[in-house]
């Protein structure tokens, strides 16, 4: 069994489905009904799902069916008890032998649960390999408490693992300073800056287009030190859910990217095929992959001695930008909505996590004097281009 992704040649009604996940069995035929479920969920349902979600769904379902194949199990095998079902065995294998985090296991299980519900709706199975019950939904407090539905319920699935509530990790100001002071690869520096100073996701930072970069000194209407408004378009780069949005790039970062494009990038471009449209190039002149960004963050970790991951840089931006804007007397608008829009969250409740992180900051961090790192996360944010 293999997982492959369709090329641009996979077309239907004039539309290309490049990147669509294909589960291929040993004899070269699609693995059914898993493949039909993927088509229904990713294409027919009409959900707004990005190519990145296509890949994630494909990998999750492949992981489950590869487990079944390796253990000579069938997906529709009936069990006398839910605790003995093939889905329960997969869960125990993922958490036991693979030692995966409960959150990771539940993310995989959630899609497989959807698959089984879909199969039952189509009479492909008689019973579900898990039980379900209605439980009272968690109540909301604070900013959005007025929109919470009283007595709301959610469905609890028996196969899911219990998760401990984990604090969202972000870097302290001192840790950011230490990372920025390192003598590292020029591409790694820009990558780090893009995520920690603009809130870009890993996939967005590594695919940030060269054509978005310019010399701010020569752009009319810009003043040195201000934030530069940059519109992100999914046609040009990888963006989750393919939703266009706007970010604010600090003047100094745009200067650094412009300088990089003139010198380091040209040097690296000569070593590759010259076809990469992204700003950042590897030493060989290629584009940065998902795994290579992980390696970059681990290299920072080895040099600094503390945990560094790409998602932490995004959380760092969200936390300190929200903190700086809430303290600012000049900023006009709602800080929470500003951060939501810059991070590309579809729901402000997702952004509200940074309110909790601010409360978790030590008093000395909250009351720290303004310095260059504070400016990095605020940087005259009221002066947009």
Q: Where are the domains of the chain?
A: 2-132, 173-378
Give the angle 240-246-248 at the CA atoms, nearest 5°: 120
Task: Quote the distance between the C-alpha of residue 86 and its chain's center.
Answer: 30
The alpha carbon torsion through 175, 177, 183, 188 (nearest 10 deg) reads 70
**Using an 8 Å Cβ cutoff, are 203 and 236 in contact?**
no
238 — phi, psi (to 5°)? Answer: -80, 125
In this prediction the pTM is 0.67
Q: What is the model's pLDDT at position 232?
A: 97
Both tokens of 128, joined, read 């579900």
Q: What is the model's pLDDT at position 382?
A: 44
Q: What is the model's pLDDT at position 183?
A: 92
Number of helical (H) and strand (E) elements in the chain, helices listed first: 16, 8
The one-digit pLDDT tens for each residue of the chain (385 residues) are 999 999 988 888 888 888 899 999 989 999 999 999 999 998 888 765 677 788 889 999 999 999 999 999 999 998 766 668 899 999 999 988 888 888 889 999 999 999 999 999 999 999 999 888 876 655 544 444 444 455 556 678 888 888 766 667 889 888 999 999 999 999 999 999 999 999 999 999 999 999 999 999 999 888 888 899 999 999 999 998 888 999 999 999 999 999 999 999 999 999 999 899 999 999 999 999 999 999 999 999 999 999 999 999 999 999 999 988 888 888 888 999 999 999 999 888 888 888 877 766 644 444 443 444 555 555 444 444 4
Q: What is the model's pLDDT at position 29?
A: 94
Give the integer Cα–Cα distance in Å for 195 and 311: 8
**Using an 8 Å Cβ cutoff, are 310 and 195 in contact?**
yes
The CATH code of the domain at 173-378 is: 1.10.443.10
Cα dist from 155 to 104, 113, 128, whole Å: 19, 12, 14
140 — phi, psi (to 5°)? Answer: -100, 150
Residue 107's contacts (CB-CB under 8 Å, 6 or more residues apart) are: 60
Q: What is the model's pLDDT at position 378?
A: 52
- Number of neighbouring beta carbons within 10 Å of residue 115: 23
Question: Any idea which residue has 């009319």 for tokens?
Answer: 220
- The total number of residues shown for the chain amounts to 385
Q: What is the model's pLDDT at position 38?
A: 94
DSSP letters for 34-64: HHHHHHIIIIIT-----HHHHHHHHHHHHHH
Give the integer Cα–Cα distance in Å for 268 and 252: 23
The SS3 call for residue 335 is helix
**Using an 8 Å Cβ cutoff, are 167 and 353 in contact?**
no
């Amino acid at each position: 069994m293999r997982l492959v992704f369709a090329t641009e040649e996979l077309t239907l009604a004039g539309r290309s489905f490049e990147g669509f996940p294909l589960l291929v069995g040993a004899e070269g035929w699609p693995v059914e009904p898993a493949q039909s479920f993927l088509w229904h969920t990713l294409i027919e349902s009409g959900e707004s799902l990005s190519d990145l979600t296509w890949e994630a769904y494909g990998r999750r379902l492949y992981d489950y069916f590869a487990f079944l194949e390796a253990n000579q199990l069938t997906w529709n095998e009936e069990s006398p008890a839910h605790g003995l079902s093939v889905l329960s065995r997969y869960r125990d294998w993922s958490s036991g032998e693979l030692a995966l985090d409960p959150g990771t296991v539940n993310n995989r299980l959630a899609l497989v649960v959807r698959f089984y519900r879909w199969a039952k709706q189509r009479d492909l199975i008689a019973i579900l390999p898990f039980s379900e019950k209605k439980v009272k939904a968690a109540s909301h407090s604070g900013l959005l408490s007025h929109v919470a539905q009283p007595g709301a319920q959610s469905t609890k699935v028996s196969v899911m693992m219990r998760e401990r509530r984990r604090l969202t990790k972000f870097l302290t100001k001192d840790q950011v300073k230490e990372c920025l002071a390192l003598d590292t690869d020029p591409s790694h520096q820009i990558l780090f800056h893009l995520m920690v100073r603009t809130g870009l996701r890993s996939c967005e930072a590594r695919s940030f287009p060269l054509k978005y970069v310019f010399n701010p000194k020569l752009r009319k209407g810009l003043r040195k030190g201000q934030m530069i408004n940059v519109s992100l378009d999914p046609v040009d780069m990888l963006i989750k859910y393919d939703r266009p949005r706007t970010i604010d790039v600090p003047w100094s970062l745009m200067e650094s990217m412009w300088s990089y494009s003139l010198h380091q990038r040209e040097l690296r471009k000569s070593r590759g095929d010259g076809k990469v449209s992204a700003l950042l190039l590897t030493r060989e002149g290629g584009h940065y992959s998902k795994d290579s960004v992980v390696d970059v963050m681990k290299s920072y970790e080895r040099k600094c001695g503390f945990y560094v991951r790409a998602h932490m840089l995004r959380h760092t931006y969200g936390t300190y930008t929200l903190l700086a804007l809430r303290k600012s007397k000049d900023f006009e608008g709602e800080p929470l909505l500003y951060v939501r829009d810059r991070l590309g969250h579809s729901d402000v409740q997702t952004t509200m996590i940074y309110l909790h992180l601010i409360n978790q900051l030590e008093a000395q961090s909250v009351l720290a004097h303004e310095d260059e790192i504070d400016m990095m996360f605020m940087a005259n944010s009221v002066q947009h281009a």
